[in-house]
Chain A
């Protein structure tokens, strides 16, 4: 079981990896805007600084749910990397997001509530696409296990290109990137669900975003089968695509996002599923 070590190391290092991705992203984004940008380790410096702040919370349930959001997201990621059932993974991911929504609802903060509502709408926008992708993978490999996709001789990309495009279209929603960053929408919501967290308690929500990076890029990697080079290529491509998109587009309203996602992205993935089940 030599193979088991790779996912375990990845799981343990996931927050670090995510942090690095985030740091690198800030540099790339800055370069695209002809700025120099922060150092690569800036996210970690921020992390240390946050730990030193005065501890303030709205109430305990809120702070606790924020921490558990991080823990359950890490768990969902671990289940994915260990190659377990994709439906379970998607479900666990949904639940970890739901904990954050619950946290936001538990306060009496306007912006938290608005943010939570928008996250719920985002879930409605991206979740069906992820589920269709999982079902398509089942149709192709005969198993819901992520392992089946990781070990597939022929990269799934060739069989489900439309689903991959659909994934590219929903990833910005999940990672809260423009044009679909309605859930965070700093100018409108001052951070939405994150607003009421501070200091060491914000740390959990902050690093959970790093985990989300690793989660999303693992989903991208699923499409490469056992072809590591292709997987790396896909990840790099997705990385530049996401940042270019983030830099070059303006935010749409949440209604537009939902409509776009449920018509365009959903249909693309669905057509792919139909083709997969016909052949």
Chain B
């Protein structure tokens, strides 16, 4: 087991270096085999693991980590000078100062630095499988990018490096290690966002850098307070062991802030929205399996300590607000990728909220959302890339001919959107359980519970409106072409899409089984109480939460199947008519509706800042 976990750390790093030097012809088999290997290992680990694996590294690694931290921060400082960005420079200086101070006051490490529990293994699954698929897809995508051959290799190399760092992030127990890997994900995203090297890319990559550096700063502060409060070494285990101690709220709040920034919650949503300038596989990577998923991961990790604290309440209120605000913000978007980005922010808010509530059912809901969002979003983003490269479409309003020119892609995107929206797909179940379980919250914190329920349900309605707006464009066609010919997009694109589609359908069909066998143990290991799942009559009971199973199953037959069938069904022996144009001959250009909600964005940002201030204040008192 230990050697397999170490494999997940070492192999991607090794491959990452190898990819820089091997020729293109070798890169392809290398990437594919590595992706398969990592996926197989993560599945094997998840199925066969028992208990928690603690393991340490030799003492000299501590020094390497410290030196790597310093080098990294100096590198950030160098970027600040090179790009003349005072804010990156300021952040780097503050971090460097904080780090040196901490290294000075902290005693030498004795305990184990890494810990892989059920949650880590669950995250391995998501990171390795989804990122592996994205890496394979990138082989083709990057081929069509206009850049030098070395930069193409460098792009693939960075992806594997990202995978390695993510695997390390979710399994480090020591917060100093965690800080290094956290900063390394920041670095990886900085490099990937700035990959195209044009003016916008550079600007947005710097935004991503300084915003995430604030998160790093928060982690350093958390380490300081853990040390200062005398909980022993700065590790997650020690922090959770002192969950009831005095003053524990401050380090918790600081780590939560780091999480919220990584999760692009308002007012820090700008970095994720700006990340759209990068090549599409990067967006897929950032949104589905890496980077932003650190946010729910941290909150899930901290949830036993956070539960029922004022800090958790502020996080719940903040994420409830972000959920609605991001959904409203999405209504004014036309760029397909930006629509997806807004929906990511909204769904992340939901995951973080569920993790912060911290009951077994909400934890399960959070896990379900993390997994299914990963699958659906990577599928959507990869197809957004196909739209760009094969069909040359970027704006969603231009997609109204896709139903005829690219029926397969439009079908896949439709399924992707439905999987975020409709029963019985995972995200729907997740959302559903969120609303239902917030009822439990509402019994003792009535006003907060009621407000959050309205926010979740209302934001959900706005989001569904948005998804249907896009689906409406995808389904559009004239009456002239009745035959459907699936287009060819090339083996890499088609294979990755089929795999994700298969993964999505397989997980949906096996959801009741997965819930019992795989989600419940993770929840159990986090909360310490096992989640009981029982079926009774029409309903399936998760703890005390009731899911009306039969209506949902019928709804499944009715809705997604209807929409998919509508693309194929043909009525025979019916005459065709032209659309009614009021006798006019006009060339009407079709597009979708917008709401100019942009005006509200500054208010959203201000409200977000107020929430962050409140987070600190409640932790202090």
Task: State whether B478 touches A277 (Cβ < 8 A).
Answer: no
A side interface size, CB within 8 A: 65
Cα separation A276 to B403 with both chains bound (whole Å): 48
Is the C-beta of A207 less than 8 angstroms from some C-beta in chain B? no
- The residue of chain A having its C-beta at the shortest distance from the C-beta of B593 within the complex is A117
Is the C-beta of A124 less than 8 angstroms from some C-beta in chain B? yes
- The residue of chain A having its C-beta at the shortest distance from the C-beta of B468 within the complex is A98
Q: How would you classify the secondary structure of chain A's contact residues: helix, strand, loop or mixed?
A: helix
Min CB distance, B415 to chain A, in Å? 14
Task: State whether A95 touches B559 (Cβ < 8 A).
Answer: yes
Is the C-beta of B458 less than 8 angstroms from some C-beta in chain A? yes
Residues 10-25 of A at the B interface (beta carbon under 8 Å): none
Is the C-beta of B555 less than 8 angstroms from some C-beta in chain A? yes
Cα separation A68 to B588 with both chains bound (whole Å): 28
Task: State whether B577 touches A56 (Cβ < 8 A).
Answer: yes
Task: State whether B579 touches A60 (Cβ < 8 A).
Answer: no
- The residue of chain B having its C-beta at the shortest distance from the C-beta of A126 within the complex is B461
Partner of B442, one of A54, A124, A277: A277
Q: A131-B458, A278-B447 are in contact. Are A101 and B581 (CB under 8 A)?
A: no
Question: Which of B189-197, B267-275, B348-356, B565-573 binds A?
Answer: B565-573
Task: State whether B454 touches A144 (Cβ < 8 A).
Answer: no
Is the C-beta of B590 less than 8 angstroms from some C-beta in chain A? yes
Residues of A within 8 A of B566 (CB): 60-61, 64-65, 68, 102, 106
Question: Which of A26-34, A108-116, A160-168, A236-244 binds B?
Answer: A108-116
Task: State whether B565 touches A87 (Cβ < 8 A).
Answer: no
Residues 541-591 of B at the A interface (beta carbon under 8 Å): 546, 548, 551-552, 554-555, 558-559, 562-563, 565-567, 569-571, 573-582, 586, 588, 590
Residues 240-271 of A at the B interface (beta carbon under 8 Å): 270
Q: A101-B468, A124-B462, A196-B579 are in contact. Are A75 and B450 (CB under 8 A)?
A: no
- The residue of chain B having its C-beta at the shortest distance from the C-beta of A67 within the complex is B562
Residue-by-residue, is A18-59 near B (CB-CB < 8 Å gives 1, otherwise 0)?
000000000000000000000000000000000000111111
Question: Which of B8-16, B124-132, B469-477 binds A?
Answer: B469-477
Is the C-beta of A183 less than 8 angstroms from some C-beta in chain B? no
Q: How would you classify the secondary structure of chain B's contact residues: helix, strand, loop or mixed?
A: helix
Task: State whether A116 touches B580 (Cβ < 8 A).
Answer: no
Is the C-beta of B465 less than 8 angstroms from some C-beta in chain A? yes
Q: A57-B574, A60-B571, A99-B562 are in contact. Are A128 and B454 (CB under 8 A)?
A: yes
Q: A68-B562, A87-B435, A127-B461 are in contact. Are A116 and B472 (CB under 8 A)?
A: yes
Is the C-beta of B30 less than 8 angstroms from some C-beta in chain A? no
Residue-by-residue, is A85-128 near B (CB-CB < 8 Å gives 1, otherwise 0)?
10110111011001101101111111111001100110110011
Cα separation A276 to B442 with both chains bound (whole Å): 12
Task: State whether B580 touches A102 (Cβ < 8 A).
Answer: no
Is the C-beta of B446 less than 8 angstroms from some C-beta in chain A? yes
Task: State whether A109 touches B580 (Cβ < 8 A).
Answer: yes
Cα separation A65 to B558 with both chains bound (whole Å): 11
Residues of B within 8 A of A99 (CB): 559, 562-563
Is the C-beta of B65 less than 8 angstroms from some C-beta in chain A? no
Task: State whether A134 touches B457 (Cβ < 8 A).
Answer: yes
Partner of A95, one of B422, B450, B469: B422
Task: State whether A131 touches B472 (Cβ < 8 A).
Answer: no
- The residue of chain A having its C-beta at the shortest distance from the C-beta of B439 within the complex is A138
Cα separation A43 to B475 with both chains bound (whole Å): 32
25 A–B contacts, CB within 8 A, in A order: A57-B479, A59-B482, A64-B562, A64-B565, A65-B562, A65-B563, A65-B566, A85-B546, A88-B548, A88-B551, A91-B464, A92-B551, A95-B464, A99-B562, A102-B471, A102-B563, A108-B588, A120-B468, A131-B457, A135-B457, A138-B439, A139-B446, A190-B580, A273-B450, A274-B450
**Residues in chain B within 8 A of chain A (CB atoms):** 403, 422, 432, 435-436, 439, 442-443, 446-447, 449-450, 453-454, 457-458, 460-462, 464-465, 468-469, 471-473, 475-479, 482, 538, 546, 548, 551-552, 554-555, 558-559, 562-563, 565-567, 569-571, 573-582, 586, 588, 590, 592-593
Query: Can you add 14 more A-B contacts, CB < 8 Å, to A124-B465, A277-B447?
Result: A60-B566, A61-B569, A63-B571, A71-B558, A85-B551, A90-B457, A102-B563, A106-B472, A110-B582, A110-B586, A110-B588, A124-B461, A132-B454, A142-B443
